[in-house]
Amino acid sequence: MKPERLSFPRVVGRMTTARKSEPPFRPLPIDEMNDSNGAIRSDCVPLKDWLDAIPPTQFEEKRKEAERLFQRLGITFAVYGESAGTERLIPFDLIPRIIPAKDWHLLAAGLRQRISALNAFLHDLYHGQEILKAGRIPAEMIFRNPQYRVEMQGIDLPGGIYVQIAGVDVVHTGEGEFHILEDNLRTPSGVSYMLVNRQMMRRLFPELFSRYAVAPIEHYPKLLLETLRAAAPEAIGHPTIVLLTPGPFNSAYFEHTFLAQQMGIETVEAQDLFVRGNKVYMRTLEGPIQVDVIYRRIDEDFLDPLAFRSDSVLGVPGLLSVYRSGGVAIANAVGTGVADDKAIYTFVPEMIRFYLGREPILKNVPTYQLRNPEERAYVLSHLNELVVKEVHGSGGYGMLIGPASTVKEREIFRQRILQTPENYVAQPTLALSTCPTFVEQGIAPRHIDLRPFVLSGKTIHLVPGGLTRVALRDGSLVVNSSQGGGTKDTWVLED
C-alpha cells in the first residue's frame, strides 16, 4: 500500500488542526495542588495544612524509614545495563497525589471504553478483520507489524478477551482533561508499587488518612485472580493458575513474587513447565501437575522456542501449540502487541467509533507518522518542539525530547528517522501536570503521570488509583524508573 492512500481525513485533519493551534512552546502545565490562580484546590487543603504543620526534619526521618523498609522487604529494581545483581530502590515520594472523585469517574469510564474497544479490535483482527475491510485502519500497518501474530488467526479465546491486564499511561493535561500516552497491553508492570506505596503511607502517616476518605485499592490481587480464572479454558472448575517469570534477575521480579504470593499461586520459571499430550504441566515433588492458566510476565518472543525464537534457551517448547488448541490459557494473550505500538495507537479513537459506536471519552495525543512524507517533513523541521519515539520502544529508552535536546542529539535522530522513518512517530510536547514533591531543596513541583490498571475478565474492573510516577529532576518529563523517576501514592477520593 502506498503512503498516498493513507489519507485518513479525520486523523490527518485533526492533526493538522493540532499543528496549527499548537503553541510554539510547551503550554503551561497545571498543578495538582494549586489552581491557575495559585490558590490551593479545595481537595488539597487538608494535605497542605498537614504539610505545613510537620517539621522538615521529621520528613527526612520518615523518608529514611521508608527507604529502610523498601530495602528490608526486598522491593528493589535491577537496572538494565548495570552489572548483574545491582539492586536499586525506586525513589518513593512521601507526598501523595490526589485525584478528585469526578476526575476519577471520567478516567475510569474512558479507560473501560478504551480497553473494550482494544479487546474488540484484537478479536476482530484475529478473526474477520472487519475494521480493515471497512478501510478504517490501513492493512499494511497490521501485516507489516512484527507484533502481528499470524499464528493467532482464527483462534478463539475464552470470552474473546485478549488483554486481561492493561496498564494505561495517562497524563493530566488540563482541568478535567486527560490524554492517553500508551496502552501497554503486553506485560505492564508497576501495580505492586501501587499497592506497596499505599501500605507504606498508611504505616508512615496514619494520621493523614483520618483527614481523607481515600478509596481502597487493596483488593486488586483478588480482582486479578478472578480475572485470571475467567481466562481459563472453559469447563474447568478450579483452574490451576501460575505466574510465569523470567526469574530473579528481571527488573520486575519483586512484583512477580509479590503478586503470586498475594494470590496464593505458584511463581514458575519456564524450566518448571513442560508440554505433554497437548497439556502443560509443572514439575513438582509430587509429580507433574497440570497448569490451566499462565499469567505470563515474560515477553511472548520467549514463551516457546519452537514457535518464536529458536535461538532462545528460555521458554517452554511446544507451549504455543497447546495454547492454540485451547489446552492452556495465557494472559495476556499472544499477539496483543500489535495493538499497542505507537503507530497503531493513533487509531484507537477510530476503534472506539467502529466497535462501540461512541466518541472517545479520553483523548489521544496527536501523533505524526513519520512514514508519511508530509508529516515527516514537518517533524524534521520542528524537532526542537516535538517528542520523537520509537514505534516499538518502551521504558523511556530511544526517545528524543525536543525542547530538552542538544543540537547533536537532534542530528542523530534526524539521521535515524531518515534511515527508517516507519520506526518513529512524533508528538507535541505535552504539559504533564505537576505535583508537590520532596526534592533536595525542599518541596517543589515535579511532573507526574498515572498508570491505572484495567482488568478484563467477565467484566472490566479497575481499582480506584494507579501508579503515579514522578520525574524527580527539575523540568524533566521522563518518569520511567529506569531513568531516575520515582513514585507516589495515588489517592482517589471517595464521593
Chain residues that interact with other proteins, rule: CB under 8 A: 71-74, 247-248, 256-258, 260-261, 266-269, 271-272, 274-276, 281-288
User: Smallest distance, Å, CB 456 to other proteins?
Assistant: 25
List C-alpha distances in Å: 477 to 100, 170, 319. 23, 13, 40
Nearer to other proteins, 220 or 345 (CB): 220
Could you give the residue ranges of the DSSP H alpha helices within 205-324?
206-209, 220-230, 253-263, 319-324
Task: Report the residue number, 272 or 422, with the smaller CB distance to other proteins.
Answer: 272
Cβ-based neighbour number of residue 372 at 10 Å: 19
Smaller CB distance to other proteins: residue 256 or 296?
256
146: its cell numbers: 512484527
Please, which residue, 69 or 223, has the CB nearer to other proteins? 69
Answer for the pair 346, 173: CB distance below 8 angstroms, yes or no.
no
Q: Are the CB atoms for 322 and 328 separated by under 8 Å?
A: yes
**Bridge partners, residue 469, by sequence:** 449, 487
Closest distance of CB 285 from other proteins, Å: 3
Q: Which is nearer to other proteins, 220 or 281 (CB)?
A: 281
CA distance 391 to 425: 6
Minimum distance of other proteins from residue 89's CB (angstroms): 12
Closer to other proteins by Cβ: residue 39 or 73: 73
For other proteins, the closer CB: 130 or 266: 266
In the bound complex, what is the minimum distance in angstroms from residue 284's beta carbon to other proteins?
A: 5
- Smallest CA-to-CA distance from 342 within 383, 418, 296, 399 is with 399
Shortest distance, position 145 Cβ to other proteins, whole Å: 35
Of the two residues 177 and 269, which places its CB atom closer to other proteins in the complex?
A: 269
Whichever of 108 and 322 has its CB closer to other proteins, that residue is 322
Task: Give Cα 292 to chain centroid, integer Å.
Answer: 26
Q: How far is the CB of 269 from other proteins (least distance, A)?
A: 7
Nearest to 312 by CA among 320, 304, 321: 304
Angle at 273 between CA 268 and CA 274, to 5 degrees: 175
Q: How far is the CB of 268 from other proteins (least distance, A)?
A: 6
Residue with smaller CB distance to other proteins, 69 or 142? 69
* 270: Cα within 13 Å, side-chain hemisphere: 19
CA 219 to each of CA 203, 226, 231, 263: distance values in angstroms, whole numbers, following the listed order? 18, 11, 19, 10
Q: How many CA atoms lie within 13 A of 293 on its CB side?
A: 24
Q: How far is the CB of 188 from other proteins (least distance, A)?
A: 20
> How far from each other are the two terminal CA atoms of the chain, in whole angstroms?
51
- Those residues whose C-beta lies under 8 Å from the C-beta of residue 452, and which sit 6 or more positions away, are 107, 108, 111, 167, 168, 170, 462, 465, 466
Nearest distance, CB of residue 7 and other proteins, angstroms: 53
Those residues with Cβ within 8 angstroms of residue 475's Cβ, 6 or more apart along the chain or in another chain: 404, 447
CB of 64: closest distance to other proteins in angstroms?
14
